[in-house]
Amino acid sequence: MAARLIMNRVTFCALTVALSALGACTDTKPAMTPDGKVVVTLRDRVFNMELADDRDEQQKGLGGVTEIKPDGGMLFVFPGATERFFVMRDCVIPIDIAYLDETKRIVSMYTMQPEEPRRDDEAEGNYEARLKRYPSRYPARYVLEFRAGTLEALGVSNGDEVRFEVPASSR
């Protein structure tokens, strides 16, 4: 009995050392920065993006934002891939948008322009109806929004792969 207990402890210690060494050998970047942003890599450029993974965050998006940092933006994570469209609801600055499929490849992209703000006497439904729609044209599970001009400056095209890890809470 004592020999079996010793053998179990030795096996456990050896496994712990092996797994620790294996973990030290990886050079993957963390999925999230300390301030809660998702690390996204596109064309070897690293972005720290806000995460929009629930309906309220996705509805608000970058609405009301007056500046996007050169390495900033927003990553939208949806439960599945489907054709989508985005609008510039309450947005005051131009934004680059890229739709990504399940494999994190770009399927379409645009530079979206700000719309005339909602008027005080304008019903929300009328405001929504007049906003230009930017369609994905293909099923998209992820959407990225960047500072306007970023996609063109990087020479990004449809089919390009984007690297990021989806936080466990968003899967």
140: in domain: yes
CATH of the domain at 104: 2.60.120.1140
Domain assignment present for 100: yes
| Residue 24: inside a domain | no
pLDDT at residue 123, as a whole number: 95
Asked whether residue 5 is assigned to any structural domain, the reply reads no
**Reduced 3-state DSSP string for the chain:** CHHHHHHHHHHHHHHHHHHHHHHHHCCCCCCECCCCCEEEEECCEEEEEEEECCHHHHHHCCCCCCCCCCCCCEEEEEEEEECCEECCCCCCCCEEEEEECCCCEEEEEEEECCCCCCCCCCCHHHHHHHCCCEECCCCEEEEEEEECCHHHHHCCCCCCEEECCCCHHHC
Does residue 50 lie within any of the structural domains?
yes
For 91, the domain range is 29-170
Q: Is 4 a domain residue? A: no
**Is 45 a domain residue?**
yes
Say if 58 falls within a structural domain: yes
Q: What is the count of structural domains for the chain?
A: 1
Query: What is the pTM (predicted TM-score) of this model?
Result: 0.79
Q: Can you give the pLDDT of all 171 residues of the chain as single tens digits?
A: 555 545 545 444 444 444 444 443 433 444 778 888 999 999 999 999 999 988 888 888 888 889 999 999 999 999 999 999 999 999 999 999 999 999 999 999 999 999 999 999 999 999 999 999 999 999 999 999 999 999 999 999 999 999 999 877 665
